[in-house]
Amino acid sequence: MSEPTSSAEPTQPARFLFINDTSRNGGPGKTLVCLLKFLDPKKIHRTVLLPREDIVSQDIIRHHAADELVIEPALIENILQPWQRGMTRQDFNAPAPLRLFRGTCNTLRATSGLMRLIRRVRKEKYSLIFCNGTAATLIGGIVAWATGVPAVWHVFYPRVPAPIRALHRKLAASPGVAAIFCVSAAVSGQFGHCQDKTRVCHDALDLEEFDAMARPPLLRKELGLAKDAIIFGAHGRVIRRKGFIELIQVARRMMDQLRPEERQRCHFVVLGDTPQDMPEDHLEECRELVRSLELEHCVHFIGFRADVMPYLTEFDVVLVPSVYPDPLPRAVMEAMALAKPVVAFNVGGIGEMITDGVDGRLFTGLPPDIAGMADACIQYFRTPTLRAAHGLAGRKRIEKDFEARSHALMLQTELLRLAKR
């Protein structure tokens, strides 16, 4: 007689808490959304903690990338920010007593928020805490130590500020931090004291979002550029270490070498702005340099755009002129996904994406090789077949090594294994 069969009881999804320490668009926020929307909700219940509602929360809602969204204002984005709103540049110049008051209140508020988060983790019985960003790793490490719930660090930064370096190092090696996923080998170097739990896990893109026909292009129309204009574009936060000063120097050198009729067709476009939580307006400094070098006719600053795709699709060549160990700039991957050749300085994790002479060009970054980058731009300007060949090679590289679905599946398997352990 055969034994009766019994259907297996349905299992509840593991409850994970994802902490993202910034609310505005950017590499970490985009990466988190891209990961969340490809995790299996039948296996992972996704609770996302953000400091306030903004572009990241809007993206999460639009993509149905969370099962629960929690706003925690005590997740301070800047120690000097006012109580009821985000930071503005003018707040850095507030009177000293007001800055001291805000700093003290925010310290107390952050401490209270940390205690509240510890209680939430215990009450909700999370299986794992996923920490996305610099402040998130510190917060998650402390919460893991206090609750016994393992934390996973997703690391985008090449180093942390000196005042918190000792705490960061101690938390990284602590038992509560179960694993450290670094977006590049350049980033992983700071975890030499706990290599057994550290691994390189490159970022990834949802390639369906990079269909050039998904949205109508806007850039040439907005700027009134002719169809035969060649556009060298850069996009991202306009801050000093991202190398926009060097980009302007490349533009000046390039214009000096082009023939008069070529100059009419050559344009440089910068898509982005200087965030309000930066004390200096580097965008204005760049505009002033453009004016002083008499480049207003060919260097265009078009500001921040929440949806960058209608602009990136009209770049002919993408410049990534970072002059610091840029961990794994998303700008490189986005350009390659759109089949655009990339010209960059070989710093940080950029060389882990670009193969010089195959899908782009790489040059010495410290000190930056302005002449080499300008010469490469001139070659791309004059050789459309080279632009097309390198762009196609870049797209194939992204399809092979930086595709979001396979990336999410790999991370999901690893995160579930860590939660069970």
Smallest CA-to-CA distance from 306 within 215, 385, 373 is with 215
Pair 294, 165: CB distance under 8 Å: no
Q: How confident is the model at residue 213 (pLDDT cuts 50, 70, 90)?
A: low
Compute how many other C-beta atoms are within 10 angstroms of the C-beta atom of residue 8. Answer: 5
**Residue 307 pLDDT > 90:** no
Copy the structure tokens of residue 260: 């008069």
C-alpha to C-alpha distance for 321 and 340, rounded to whole angstroms: 15
Question: What are the helix and strand counts (H, E) for the chain?
Answer: 15, 13
Task: Work out the average pLDDT over 21-46.
Answer: 91
Question: Which of 1-15, 18-32, 238-252, 329-343 is least confident?
Answer: 1-15
Smallest CA-to-CA distance from 335 within 312, 361, 363, 355 is with 312
**By CB neighbour count within 10 A (0-12 exposed, 13-18 middle, 19+ buried), where does 90 fall?**
exposed
**Residue 318 host element (H or E):** strand 317-320
Higher pLDDT, 40 or 54: 40
- What mean pLDDT, rounded, does the chain reach? 93
Higher pLDDT, 356 or 157: 356
**Given the DSSP bridges, would you call strands 230-235 and 317-320 parallel, antiparallel or unpaired?**
parallel
Give residue 315's region: left, alpha or beta (phi > 0; psi -120 to 50): beta
**Residue 10 pLDDT > 60:** no
Smallest CA-to-CA distance from 145 within 164, 121, 166 is with 121
Smallest CA-to-CA distance from 233 within 86, 68, 130, 344 is with 344
**Residue 331 host element (H or E):** helix 330-337
Residue-wise pLDDT for 260-286, tens only, equals 999 999 999 999 999 988 999 999 999
Residues 6 or more apart from 96 whose CB is under 8 A from it? none
Task: Work out the average pLDDT over 124-148.
Answer: 96
Residue-wise pLDDT for 223-257, tens only, equals 999 999 999 999 999 999 999 999 999 999 999 99
> pLDDT value at position 4?
45
Copy the structure tokens of residue 38: 């490809």
Q: In what order do the strands lie in the sheet with 230-235?
A: 299-303, 266-271, 230-235, 317-320, 342-345, 360-363
**Residue 25 pLDDT > 80:** no
C-alpha to C-alpha distance for 121 and 142, rounded to whole angstroms: 12
Q: In what order do the strands lie in the sheet with 198-200?
A: 68-71, 44-50, 14-20, 128-132, 151-155, 177-182, 198-200
Higher pLDDT, 164 or 5: 164
- With pLDDT > 70 as the criterion, what percentage of the chain qualifies? 97
C-alpha to C-alpha distance for 344 and 308, rounded to whole angstroms: 20
Domains and CATH numbers, the chain: 14-204+403-420 (3.40.50.2000), 208-401 (3.40.50.2000)
Enter the DSSP assignment of 259.
Answer: -
Task: Work out the average pLDDT over 188-197.
Answer: 95
**Residue 214 pLDDT > 80:** no
Task: Work out the average pLDDT over 343-349.
Answer: 97
- DSSP sequence for 137-162: HHHHHHHHHHH---EEEEE--S---G
C-alpha to C-alpha distance for 182 and 198, rounded to whole angstroms: 7
Smallest CA-to-CA distance from 359 within 390, 380, 316 is with 390
At 271, which amino acid appears?
A: L
> pLDDT value at position 87?
87
Pair 85, 76: CB distance under 8 Å: no
> pLDDT value at position 5?
44
Tell me the pTM.
0.91
Measured in whole angstroms, the distance separating CA 380 from the mean position of its chain's CA atoms is 27
Compute how many other C-beta atoms are within 10 angstroms of the C-beta atom of residue 11. Answer: 8
**Residue 6 pLDDT > 60:** no
Using DSSP's 3-state secondary structure scheme, residue 268 falls into strand
**Residue 288 host element (H or E):** helix 282-292
> pLDDT value at position 78?
86
**Residue 65 pLDDT > 90:** yes
Copy the structure tokens of residue 80: 């000097």
